[in-house]
Structure 1
């Protein structure tokens, strides 16, 4: 892959250095004296999700050029989360839904594409969090027809563990400092798996515990020191203290209130044109939301830290329809709360509708950054915490 030219590199570092020097690196803490002694057992990773294998058809993924990894590192970020749809690395007939007998048809050529992403991230000093966004028997996104239910069927759980055993063995030689495993994205029970707007709620805790326990024991049997992370319940936002007895940590979300983070997102709302334009601070459905209500929302996650469970925010940010000034004001409060509690973050994407590059927002004066459209205000906000 073509490297950035030396002169471009010098210009890049010059620009980045000026910006970094101009941005405050601190954030005012509101923690009590007791809370200030809380130690997060997970590193304060800060970075982005990369969606190269988010699509079940890997060829349709967003392949991030090497320069993106370099820019992340040069801007002070140290983390990439890779949400993977498991069919993206299988060999089967894609003209129909996957069958039970096909869920372990690992395709070595496709697996090597994931290896390449991991290797490139490590080349630039970025920690990689490998996540099954769609796992055998479950995906938070509707429309995928799975042959069974991860939360209820033993055959699905056996396949789930087989996938994690494969990954654990494949990357056994990689240090836990460089690689972690995020078991399954955003556990959720939807009434109709094929309707994105169908009502739903948390996975029964006993089912989540059983699935997580089996998977973490499978991974640890291969490499005991591997860091394993479980997403919050009910779509990622609900802390799960019932998992505290397992040898894993947890991942929260930075999507509250949802009207701000997913304003006019068509996969979240049926009638996007009827939504009230959010403000921050402001009322949502008659309830005032501000930094204090955010602190209350994240308190269960701080309680996990007190129990000795590490916490990281695996996904956060906002869709490109949220007014930019509202988004930045809200998200600074979110990041400030995480910073105060030693919790790192992974923006949903680097380049795209949630990203700092090429987001397609209509209310941003983009900076031309080596041919990319850079949201400088957004980057400056993130660099306060990088």
Structure 2
């Protein structure tokens, strides 16, 4: 599928008809044709407790105190990007085998469940996300036994994992939990090469994945709230699924020269990159708010078709000058807010985060033993 522009999207989205189902806070009646985003404008953070395939190499655990701070600051949303190997039992001295993919470790899933319920205690909606699913991850660093987009067994195992989570939270209200199917779907020339060329998943294949997973999830609770990340690494709307009662998740990382300046997993060479500015000429491009407005046009059109939209990830690596980051990010947040779209910062703590980001040009505030980026917090609370 090519990257749809506004005209293409409006043509393709005529498939959305009165047959759309409604779910609380997700879609309105198709006949109503809403003028704003029908999805709640949740605001919060990605928490990386279960992000690593190897729990021994994971991030420090999120505490109850952290969750209380989020709520006290006015946030109401967390996204949990999970690597399925983090909660599966297998011989970690070797690559995982197909036979081991379904060996779910209930002690590990209990820890995930405990964090979910603890977050909900503070009024935070929790969105479970498979960041690494059987047979696919946008990141390298773990050897999969098959390819989600090519192997039927991988797709079956992917659906199995979502059925497990849907059953686990079958009695939890859609106001408290949602299911974000797969982080940033894309094709990869080489799954083990972080810099390999990426492209969009064919629309009919994306639909197959979303349909099978959503059916398995809603078999346990027909009101379960489901989200699909944009195609082509989260950048493109998915017109092929607008009839499936599934919200869609965009990204807030454009342009990458600002959001991922000197990030080694994005740029092979980081020493000779043009210095980021906002707005301004950077390399061969003039960077401005206009490019953001063009980027989000198809997503805004999607909301007007009755499909919920949320920005599941946004933020900036700690090598970008702080003043440039804040100027750019305020435009990102303002465009999102103007169109009723919520967001989740990547991340709460760490190099993209609100706490302990390791920036060299920030005067941090001491916050209960953490280094708080007060200017970033003030900006987030403003939007």
Counterpart of 1:102 (choices 95, 100, 103) is 100
Question: Does the CA-based 8 Å contact 1:137-1:147 persist in structure 2?
Answer: yes
> Residue 234 of structure 2 aligns to a residue in which SS?
coil
Taking the aligned partners of 2:93 and 2:81, their CA distance within structure 1 comes to 23
| 1:164 and 2:162 matched | yes
Q: Summarize deviations over 1:24-77 as a string: whole Å, max 9, x none.
A: xxxxxxxxxxxx962212110000000000001123222112111000000000
Residue number in structure 1 paired with 2:53: 56
> Residue 297 of structure 1 aligns to a residue in which SS?
helix
> Residue 342 of structure 1 aligns to a residue in which SS?
coil
Residue number in structure 2 paired with 1:47: 44
Taking the aligned partners of 1:37 and 1:98, their CA distance within structure 2 comes to 46
- Which structure 1 residue ranges, 5 or more long, are not aligned? 1-35
Q: Taking structure 2 as the reference length, what is the TM-score of the superposition?
A: 0.90
> Residue 234 of structure 1 aligns to a residue in which SS?
helix
Query: Which deviates more, 297-306 or 277-286?
Result: 277-286
Question: Does the CA-based 8 Å contact 2:349-2:355 persist in structure 1?
Answer: yes
> Residue 142 of structure 2 aligns to a residue in which SS?
coil
After the TM superposition, which residues 146-185 of structure 1 pair with which residues of structure 2 at under 5 Å, given as runs?
Answer: 146-185=144-183
Residue number in structure 1 paired with 2:377: 379
Root-mean-square deviation over aligned CA pairs: 1.1
> Residue 129 of structure 1 aligns to a residue in which SS?
strand
Question: Does the CA-based 8 Å contact 1:152-1:207 persist in structure 2?
Answer: no
> Residue 272 of structure 1 aligns to a residue in which SS?
coil
Taking the aligned partners of 1:119 and 1:143, their CA distance within structure 2 comes to 30
Superposed structure 1 runs of 4+ greater than 3 Å apart: none
Residue number in structure 1 paired with 2:35: 38
> Residue 360 of structure 2 aligns to a residue in which SS?
coil
Residue number in structure 1 paired with 2:193: 195
Residue number in structure 2 paired with 1:209: 207
Residue number in structure 2 paired with 1:224: 222
> Residue 172 of structure 1 aligns to a residue in which SS?
coil
Q: Taking structure 1 as the reference length, what is the TM-score of the superposition?
A: 0.89
Residue number in structure 2 paired with 1:120: 118
Taking the aligned partners of 2:41 and 2:276, their CA distance within structure 1 comes to 30
When residues 37 and 289 of structure 1 are mapped into structure 2, their CA distance, relative to the original with a 3 A threshold, is farther
Taking the aligned partners of 1:37 and 1:234, their CA distance within structure 2 comes to 27
> Residue 353 of structure 1 aligns to a residue in which SS?
coil
